Structures are given as structure tokens and as C-alpha cells.
């Protein structure tokens, strides 16, 4: 087991090095990035402080050196926890990520909780009442949900909230609570705003979960051990929830693992951009738009790292829950 | 005699059914899939082939009505009596004093009838037949008349026409990208599964590496890396290639799995013992066996491609004006201000959703139909 984890971690490490190099290439290659623009701007000003800034940037990022060496400088700094500066926000990347990671986590956790609370019961109902009216309706709704992209749904919700409800949507806090210290009223205000992105995330996320849950449970319900449980005279509820669902839910854990952690970092970046949320997603989008290279690169590396760690955790959980699975 | 003959002919007919005709049989029974298929054909012919004919205005036609609201369609003639010929009310410019903003109000005294097959701006049908006939439009003799079914944008361009034109690029990127993905995925998957060994390992590591990146963030990063200075057409092709680059791995994996199981079958062994070449084995015996499976996956992947383009362009990372796609059209509603003052610009959304839904319905029907022997 330990050997397995060590091997997987080693694999993740190798992948991360490769991924960081590719991210670096993606960041570095395009001409006209933010740093170049910034340098030109400073050069145009041409005064002493500007020249000093240019020299500082040159030294820090090794701008005169070849590509590989620049990657080396970036990655060694990266390991030490220095992710470089964001040129747009004019602050260290660490600070920006730290500031927004909390909100991203809150949003991600509430979205995932809502999604699962909706998806599992509906999926179970749909499977145990196969071909009933409720099941047919669920099928149609999930069908639409599968095809509905989050950011378009967010636009539609925004439109209805503004025209029908006459409510300002966007952000996670009302203006008066924006910079206020945490209090009960602020939490209430947060909840008032939070449900919209959480709802949008849930609508797009539940559809596939319901489909998978329904399919798995249908497969499981046909197996002999369920029959055996029924023959033992157990209540139908016990048979379904304690025996069948426990087996059928396993594949969903893999999905949870590969989605939950990266969601904390990037979340649904597009939805968050539409609703203008103070999470990491919109920062990433913005950083890409203006070619704010170090910020974008750092977030990208983090997303990939989180995905891989999430996958590992999911595999370990699965092995712990399902004794038939052996890790080799 | 006659009674005996009937079952015999029936049996004969059933035996002679080929796989594809069985598929078609089963597919025909699925109403949702048929609707999806028809909608897709309509989408591609209206937007893709004959956009110039169906759109009342050309792509860059700018009217004097800026951000005008949609004109309601009525069945009245100019005296206000009922007529079968549809017409639209005119628009009147007003100024909102408190917001200091120009807006339009429907002027019910002015009625412009809509004529079909009118002569308007000239264009080339399918790129080479010069003509000037549009499906519908207002009286060409009346310069005052105008018809904006979905309203106009900030530059006074007719949104209805632009949605039709925009669909061309959006739908094409789905089709073009998918054809490339399909080809690349099939070939790489087949090579990987057929030869095994080092080739297999290399292809597998490549797909794994691309798969390690989450879809959307990688799309955005790669699209952002396209130099701004490139020409729009080049950007379009680059974007298509990026979509292909990210998507081919999934298909290649599935093809590999299928090939692995197929290549041990007796008929393949037989073909090999007859001295068939590798290429013949692969393209004649192995790949056709994976075809039905791949067509289903490919159909279900097209909506993802269309949506990726829409999302990227909407963020300003994909296509840019002067190109017009659904994503580019949505760029204009990315601010809260435009949703408030020009909500009709959101009309693009239902069209994107309908196209996506059609592909999903078709793909779902195909998935059921491709396995005509099993199930009910």
C-alpha cells in the first residue's frame, strides 16, 4: 500500500514537472505578453525609476537568458513558494491566490454538497421506480441539464433576476458587506448571494451524476446479493440504502475525487466570470486575457496538481471502501 | 399454399437485412433522434450553406437604428385590417431623459409589410451563383422600411441576420474539428492497439499527458497563446486544431481498446494467414469494426466543441471580430449593462442550446440504434 502511494506520488511529481514546463511554454511563447508591454511602457517613460524597475524585472525573471534557464529560475522559485508577480494586480501571485482561495473553497464545497444532496436521492428514486412518470421526467430534465453549459445558464439566470425579480446579481456580498469584518449578518448576506452560483453549478453537475447513479443502481439491483438480502426478509429500504446503494455509489467517489479538489482552485471559471465572483476562476480568465503570465501559469499548475492528487485520493478511498479492489 | 409462402418470404427478408439497414430500422423508431437529426440538417443548411439567402441583411449592413428592440410581427395591412401577409411595426427614436440614453419605441401607426423572395443586396449563393434574392425582407422601393426580428446591436446590425451568419462558423468548427479528431483518434488508436509495444506506450503516455489537464483551463491557456497579430482565418484554424489536440486522446483510447479485442478474432487471423498486409488488416478488417462505436462518440462530442468555441470567443480568447460566430455575438452581452438595456441580444443563447440539444438527441438515438441486436 505504502509502496503504491509512493509510486503514485512519484508519478504525480514527474507529471507536474512536465505540466509546469508546458505551462511555462504556453505562458512564454506568445509575443506581446504583459511583461513585454510593461517593459515597453516603462522604457517609454524613460526616467530613472522606470529604468531601475526594468533592471529589477530583468534580474528577477532572467529575461536576457535562454528559455530553459528562465524555466529553471521560475520553477526553483516556484518550489520555494515564490510564484512571481502578477503584473496586472501589481502584487505577488501568492497573495492573490491566498486572498481568493477561501471564497473559492466555500463556493466549491457548497456547490458539491448541493449537487450530491440532489443527485443521489433523485438517482436512487429514478432507478427504483424505473419507467415511472417520475423517472421519465427525471430523464428528460437530466437530458437538458447535460446539454446546458453553465455560463449560458448563468447568463439566463442573470437576465431573469434582473428583469423579473429586479434584483442585482453578481458578486458574493452586497456592497455594504464588501469590506466589513465577519459577522452573523455578513454570513446571511453571503448565503443570499451564494445560492445562485451554487444552484447553477448543481444544475449542470447533477445531471451526469443522476445518470450514473441510476445506471449503476439498476445494474446492482439485478445482482444476486440484493436478491439474497430480500430473501432474508430485510425491509426494502434497508436493501436499497444499506446494500445496493453502498455498492452502486463507488464509481461516484472517483468523480468526487477528480472534481472536488480542482474545483476549489478554478471552480466553474466561466460561471464565476459571468456572476463576477471573488473566486480564483475569474482571476485565471482575466490573467489569460491580458497575458499576465505568472499568475495564469501558477493557477494552471495548481489545477493540474489538484486534479492528480484528487485522483489519487479517490483511488485510495475506493480501495478502502471496496475490498474487491486491490491496488497494485 | 399462400399461407405457407408468407412466413418464408418474411424470413428471407430478415436474413438479408444488412447491419446498417437494421441500424436505420431501429433509429427510425426513435422520434427524439429523428427530430434531432432533422434540426441538425436544418441548422447546417440554413446557417452553413444558404445563410445569405435566409438572412434579410448582409453581415456588415449597418442601419441607423442602434440597439433597437425587436419589432413585433403582426398580420395587418397598412390600414390596420387583418391580412395574411405578415408585417412589422415601425420604430421611433426616443430619449430617456433620466438615463440620457437613446431608446426605441414601437410606433403602431407605421406598418411595414414583409415580402417574400425580395430583391435586396446582391450576394453569391454558395459562393459562386450571383443573385440578390432573399427569403424575406421589406419593400425594396421603400428606403424607410426595415425588419429587425431580433433587434439590432450597438452598431445597428440586424441580430437575426447575424445569428444566421454566426452559426456558420460555430457549427463548422464543430464539424471540422470533429472530422479531424475522428481521423486522428481512429488512426492513432488503431496504430497503438495493433502494433502494441513501444508505439503503444508512446501513444498512451501522450494521451495521458493531455488528459492530465482539465479541459476548459487548458483550452483557455492554449487559446490565449495564439498571437493577437494573426489573421482571423489563421486564428480560426488554430482554434480548431487546439480543440482537436485536446480531444483526440479520448477517442484514441476507446479505439485502442476495441482493436485489442478485435485483433485476436478468428476472421482477423484468417485474413492474416492469407497474407493480408498490415494496412489492409487495419483499414479493411479492424477499423470498420470500431466504426459504429466511434460515430456515436463523435456525434456526442460535437456539442462540446461548439460550446468550447462559444465559451472561448465569449471570453475574448477565441474568435474575434470581424469574424462572426455565436460566441462573438455573445461578447456583447458580457456586461450587466447590456443585459439590462439590450436583453434581446441574448437571443443567441436559445440557438446555441437548440443546436447542442439536437446533437445530443441524435447521438443518443444513434447509440441505441448502433446495437440493433440487443435490447428490446
State the pLDDT at residue A170. 64
Closest-approach residue (CA) in chain A for B216: A269
Nearest chain A CA: its distance from B237 CA (Å): 17
Find residues 297-326 of chain B whose CB sits inside 8 Å of chain A.
Answer: 303, 307, 310-311, 314-317
Structural domain contains residue A3: no
Task: Give contacts of B338 with chain A, Cβ < 8 Å.
Answer: none
State the pLDDT at residue B5. 47
Residues B30 and B123: beta-carbon distance below 8 Å: no
Please compute the mean of the pLDDT values over residues A137-163 and round it to a whole number.
Answer: 80
Question: How confident is the prediction for chain A on average, in pLDDT?
Answer: 79
Which range (A58-72, A84-98, A211-225, B174-188) has the least confidence? A58-72
Structural domain contains residue A141: yes
Closest-approach residue (CA) in chain A for B303: A147
State the pLDDT at residue A243. 85
State the pLDDT at residue B2. 45
- Strand order of the β-sheet with B82-96 is B73-76, B82-96, B101-125, B129-138
Reply yes or no on whether the pLDDT at A266 is more than 70.
no
Structural domain contains residue A122: yes
Is ipTM > 0.95 here? Answer: no
Query: Is B251 an 8 Å CB contact of chain A?
Result: no
Model confidence at B4, pLDDT cuts 50, 70, 90, reads very low
pLDDT digits (tens, 9 = 90+) for B156-165: 788 888 888 8
Closest-approach residue (CA) in chain A for B317: A289
Within chain B, strands assigned E span 73-76, 82-96, 101-125, 129-138
Question: How confident is the prediction for chain B on average, in pLDDT?
Answer: 80
Nearest chain A CA: its distance from B268 CA (Å): 33
Query: Is B84 an 8 Å CB contact of chain A?
Result: no
Q: % helix / strand / coil in chain B, to the nearest 5?
A: 60, 15, 25
Range of the domain at A224: 106-327
Task: Give contacts of A26 with chain B, Cβ < 8 Å.
Answer: 221-222, 224-225
**How many angstroms separate the CA atoms of A244 and A316, rounded?**
21
Residues of A in CB contact (< 8 Å) with B are 15, 18-19, 23, 26-27, 29-32, 143-144, 146-149, 151-152, 155-156, 158-159, 162-163, 170, 262, 266, 269-270, 273-274, 284-285, 288-289, 291, 296, 299-300, 303-304, 307-308
State the pLDDT at residue B375. 45
Task: Give contacts of A211 with chain B, Cβ < 8 Å.
Answer: none
Which range (A60-69, A170-179, B226-235) has the least confidence? A170-179
Residue A172: which CATH number? 1.10.3720
State the pLDDT at residue B180. 92
Mutate to test the interface with A, among B204, B216, B330, B352 (most CBs of A within 10 A): B216
Reply yes or no on whether the pLDDT at B211 is more than 80.
no
Q: Inter-chain contact B352–A291, Cβ cutoff 8 Å? A: no
Please compute the mean of the pLDDT values over residues A255-276 and round it to a whole number.
Answer: 76
Look at chain A and report how many structural domains it folds into: 1
Exposed/middle/buried for residue A94 (C-beta within 10 Å: 0-12, 13-18, 19+): middle
**How many angstroms separate the CA atoms of B215 and B234, rounded?**
22
C-alpha gyration radius of chain B: 26
A181-208: string of b/e by CB count within 10 Å (b at 16+)? eeeeebeebbeebbebbbbbbbbbbbbe
**How many angstroms separate the CA atoms of A249 and A213, rounded?**
7
Reply yes or no on whether the pLDDT at A325 is more than 80.
no
Mutate to test the interface with B, among A152, A200, A279 (most CBs of B within 10 A): A152
CATH number corresponding to B161-369: 1.10.3720.10
β-partners of residue B107 are B90
Reply yes or no on whether the pLDDT at B7 is more than 60.
no
Q: Which H, E and C letters describe A263-285, residue by residue?
A: HHHCCCHHHHHHHCCCCHHHHHH
* Angle, helix A184-221 to helix A250-265, in steps of 10 degrees: 150
Structural domain contains residue A166: yes
Task: Give contacts of A162 with chain B, Cβ < 8 Å.
Answer: 336, 339-340
Reply yes or no on whether the pLDDT at B225 is more than 80.
no
**How many angstroms separate the CA atoms of B286 and B292, rounded?**
12
**Domain map (residue ranges) of chain B:** 71-147, 161-369
Please compute the mean of the pLDDT values over residues A170-184 and round it to a whole number.
Answer: 69
Nearest CB partner across the interface for B212, out of A19, A30, A32: A19
State the pLDDT at residue A34. 63
**How many angstroms separate the CA atoms of A325 and B177, rounded?**
38
Please compute the mean of the pLDDT values over residues B105-114 and round it to a whole number.
Answer: 76
Reply yes or no on whether the pLDDT at A222 is more than 80.
yes
C-beta atoms surrounding A176 within 10 Å? 10
Please compute the mean of the pLDDT values over residues A190-211 and round it to a whole number.
Answer: 82
Closest-approach residue (CA) in chain A for B332: A155
Q: Inter-chain contact A296–B224, Cβ cutoff 8 Å? A: yes
State the pLDDT at residue B29. 78
Please compute the mean of the pLDDT values over residues B105-134 and round it to a whole number.
Answer: 77
State the pLDDT at residue A32. 55
Structural domain contains residue A120: yes
Q: Inter-chain contact B353–A284, Cβ cutoff 8 Å? A: no
Structural domain contains residue A79: no
**How many angstroms separate the CA atoms of A303 and A270, rounded?**
15
Return the SS3 of A165. coil
pLDDT digits (tens, 9 = 90+) for B32-67: 788 888 999 998 988 888 888 888 887 777 777 777
Task: Give contacts of B353 with chain A, Cβ < 8 Å.
Answer: 147-148, 152
Structural domain contains residue A98: no
Nearest chain A CA: its distance from B45 CA (Å): 22
Reply yes or no on whether the pLDDT at A135 is more than 80.
yes
Amino acid at each position: 500500500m505504502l509502496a503504491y502511494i509512493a509510486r503514485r506520488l512519484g508519478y504525480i511529481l514527474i507529471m507536474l514537472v512536465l505540466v509546469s514546463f508546458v505551462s511555462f511554454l504556453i505562458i512564454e511563447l506568445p509575443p506581446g505578453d504583459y511583461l513585454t508591454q510593461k517593459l515597453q511602457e516603462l522604457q517609454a517613460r524613460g526616467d530613472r525609476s522606470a529604468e531601475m524597475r526594468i533592471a529589477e524585472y530583468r534580474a528577477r525573471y532572467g529575461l536576457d537568458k535562454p528559455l530553459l534557464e528562465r524555466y529553471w529560475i521560475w520553477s526553483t522559485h516556484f518550489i520555494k513558494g515564490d510564484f512571481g508577480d502578477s503584473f496586472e494586480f501589481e502584487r505577488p501571485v501568492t497573495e492573490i491566490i491566498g486572498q481568493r482561495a477561501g471564497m473559492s473553497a466555500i463556493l466549491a464545497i457548497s456547490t458539491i454538497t448541493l449537487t450530491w444532496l440532489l443527485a443521489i436521492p433523485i438517482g436512487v428514486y429514478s432507478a427504483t421506480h424505473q419507467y415511472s412518470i417520475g423517472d421519465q421526467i427525471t430523464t428528460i430534465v437530466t437530458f437538458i441539464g447535460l446539454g446546458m453549459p453553465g455560463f449560458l445558464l448563468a447568463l439566463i439566470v442573470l437576465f431573469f433576476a434582473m428583469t423579473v425579480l429586479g434584483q442585482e446579481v453578481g458578486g458574493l456580498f452586497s456592497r455594504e458587506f464588501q469590506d466589513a469584518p465577519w459577522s452573523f449578518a455578513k454570513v446571511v448576506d453571503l448565503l443570499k448571494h451564494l445560492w445562485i452560483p451554487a444552484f447553477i453549478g448543481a444544475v449542470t453537475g447533477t445531471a451526469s451524476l443522476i445518470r450514473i447513479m441510476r445506471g449503476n443502481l439498476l445494474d446492482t439491483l439485478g445482482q444476486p446479493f440484493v436478491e439474497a438480502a430480500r430473501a432474508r426478509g430485510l425491509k426494502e429500504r434497508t436493501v436499497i440504502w444499506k446494500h445496493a446503494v453502498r455498492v452502486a455509489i463507488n464509481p461516484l467517489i472517483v468523480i468526487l475525487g477528480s472534481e472536488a479538489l480542482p474545483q476549489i482552485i478554478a471552480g466553474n471559471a466561466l460561471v464565476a466570470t459571468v456572476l463576477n465572483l471573488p473566486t480564483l476562476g475569474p482571476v485565471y480568465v482575466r490573467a489569460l486575457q491580458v497575458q499576465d503570465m505568472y499568475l495564469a501559469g501558477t493557477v494552471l499548475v495548481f489545477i493540474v496538481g489538484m486534479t492528480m492528487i484528487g485522483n489519487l485520493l479517490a483511488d485510495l478511498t475506493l480501495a478502502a471502501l471496496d475490498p474487491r479492489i486491490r491496488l497494485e | 399454399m399462400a399461407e405457407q409462402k408468407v412466413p418464408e418470404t418474411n424470413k428471407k427478408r430478415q436474413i438479408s437485412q444488412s447491419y446498417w439497414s437494421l441500424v436505420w430500422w431501429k433509429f427510425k423508431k426513435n422520434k427524439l433522434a429523428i427530430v434531432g437529426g432533422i434540426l441538425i440538417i436544418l441548422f447546417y443548411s440554413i446557417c452553413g450553406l444558404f445563410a445569405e439567402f435566409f438572412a434579410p441583411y448582409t453581415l456588415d449592413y449597418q442601419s441607423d437604428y442602434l440597439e433597437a428592440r425587436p419589432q413585433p410581427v403582426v398580420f395587418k395591412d397598412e390600414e390596420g385590417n387583418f391580412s395574411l401577409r405578415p408585417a412589422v411595426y415601425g420604430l421611433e427614436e426616443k430619449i430617456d431623459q433620466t438615463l440620457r440614453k437613446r431608446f426605441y419605441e414601437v410606433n403602431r401607426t407605421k406598418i411595414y409589410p414583409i415580402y417574400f423572395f425580395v430583391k435586396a443586396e446582391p450576394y453569391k449563393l454558395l459562393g459562386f451563383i450571383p443573385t440578390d434574392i432573399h427569403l424575406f425582407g421589406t419593400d425594396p422601393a421603400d428606403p424607410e422600411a426595415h425588419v429587425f426580428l431580433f433587434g439590432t446591436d450597438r452598431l445597428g446590425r440586424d441580430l437575426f441576420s447575424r445569428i444566421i451568419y454566426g452559426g456558420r462558423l460555430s457549427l463548422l468548427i464543430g464539424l471540422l474539428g470533429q472530422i479531424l479528431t475522428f481521423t486522428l483518434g481512429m488512426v492513432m488508436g488503431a496504430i497503438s492497439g495493433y502494433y502494441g509495444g513501444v508505439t503503444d506506450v508512446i501513444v498512451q503516455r501522450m494521451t495521458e499527458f493531455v488528459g492530465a489537464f482539465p479541459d476548459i483551463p487548458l483550452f483557455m491557456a492554449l487559446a490565449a497563446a495564439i498571437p493577437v497579430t494573426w489573421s482571423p482565418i489563421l486564428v480560426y484554424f488554430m482554434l480548431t486544431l487546439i480543440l482537436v489536440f485536446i480531444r483526440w486522446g479520448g477517442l484514441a483510447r476507446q479505439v485502442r481498446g476495441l482493436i485489442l479485442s478485435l485483433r485476436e478474432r478468428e476472421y482477423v487471423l484468417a485474413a492474416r494467414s492469407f497474407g493480408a498486409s498490415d494496412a489492409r488488416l487495419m483499414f479493411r478488417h479492424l477499423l470498420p469494426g470500431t466504426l459504429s462505436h466511434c460515430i456515436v462518440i463523435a456525434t456526442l462530442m460535437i456539442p462540446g466543441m461548439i460550446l468550447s468555441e462559444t465559451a472561448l470567443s465569449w471570453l475574448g480568447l477565441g474568435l474575434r471580430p470581424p469574424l462572426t460566430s455565436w460566441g462573438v455575438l455573445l461578447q456583447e452581452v458580457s456586461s450587466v449593462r447590456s443585459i439590462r438595456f439590450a436583453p434581446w441580444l441574448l437571443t443567441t443563447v436559445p440557438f446555441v442550446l437548440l443546436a447542442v440539444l439536437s446533437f445530443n438527441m441524435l447521438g443518443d438515438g444513434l447509440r441505441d440504434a448502433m446495437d440493433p441486436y440487443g435490447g428490446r
